[in-house]
Structure 1
């Protein structure tokens, strides 16, 4: 009698061992969910911090942009009023200057500029050279059009752009040895905190500007004066476009980090719900095992 009861008790213990294996799997699942939940919470803290930093940088970039806009407007109006003609007889040599930065995590700010240049190069890349301001545009364009890139300016975007930085870039552009007949600056123009648009500004070389008939309106304009002014206008336009791009970048990063924080919050809610359901399932399984064991011993 005692032997049969022991056999029955042993037989009833087998399902308990299997439930114990399920409990171990449940605990492993709880651990993995807990680790995932912790990592997502850390990511949310980082994105929230980056949003606050970008908001502070955006406020400063917007103030600097208001002071930098006269530089770009003045240089642009000079070329518009002089009506620089296109030289149809000379061989066409195009120059494209991409204004981006070295930093990412800001949506499609840099890829939009690079995409515009890449589409233009896809049509004809034999007579076009590219100068990349910022490492992001270089990284996108060099895979297919590395032979068209003649100059890259790095360390852009870590600090607010200054006129000295623009002057150095303009000096390198003017002394790079590429005699272009027409060129343009491709940059992001800031519109509001949630929007920007890809824009272009024309740039000209000294031989092309000297052919304008309306330059006689200005006194004492010889080739040396025109060359000096073109260097200054090039620096002014680059400074203006860098300020526009920096403001657009900070606003886009602020928006991107805000969206990332919201997505992380939604993922935290889902993981928390999954964690609670899994824990409840494990606890229910343990209670069933305890009740089954108690019932088997009675």
Structure 2
């Protein structure tokens, strides 16, 4: 049986996650979304999509399900606009703008401790809009030099995302003191998993998704050696990242790391009880 976290620890994790989300993360996400609404063209859609995705993930960690649901549907509309699946752009941007305003309202309510559901009519409008999207068809007339430039830009972005953004998240946890409360460590790892999963899925990096899934299992199990075990996975991520950036394949089979950690933790607890 997998060890379960004490309810008081879970409550602490939720409290810390919600406070960090509302104070530190959400304002930046809102700024990015509001800038997109104002510009509508010429913006970096990667930044906008990451804001919506991170807003969705942060709301989930903070246990704000209504906000998470709205951010999810907003992310779908933004993806459709970015991929040119939208025929009625004005309608899309109207829904995006209304969603951002509703998100700001929900965040304001969360600040006061009042968790409310988003406007049901807006949710329904987003669902109908997303269900009527057209299939994306790439422009076959794209010139070779434009393709080459796009590939180069993608490579540059991947390099920055892995060497700077992801590295910053790993280093932030590694720099924590060994006696940091488990709720803080688990919250930080959960945030890393949200961002890492977004990068892995968006950039089509299955090796990163695989390692992040192991980290999620580790955070859920919260074994006594959580810190050291997480750092081992961090090192694996760095090794695979470097191999990827060097053009090497990362077809590594999934190792039973987490199951072994749980077994070891249970064995240690049993041994202590028998002494």
Q: TM-score, normalised by structure 1?
A: 0.22
Q: Which has the larger share of strand?
A: 1
Greater gyration radius? 1
Q: Which has the larger share of helix?
A: 2
Q: TM-score, normalised by structure 2?
A: 0.23
Q: Which has the higher contact order (CA 8 A, sep 6+)?
A: 1
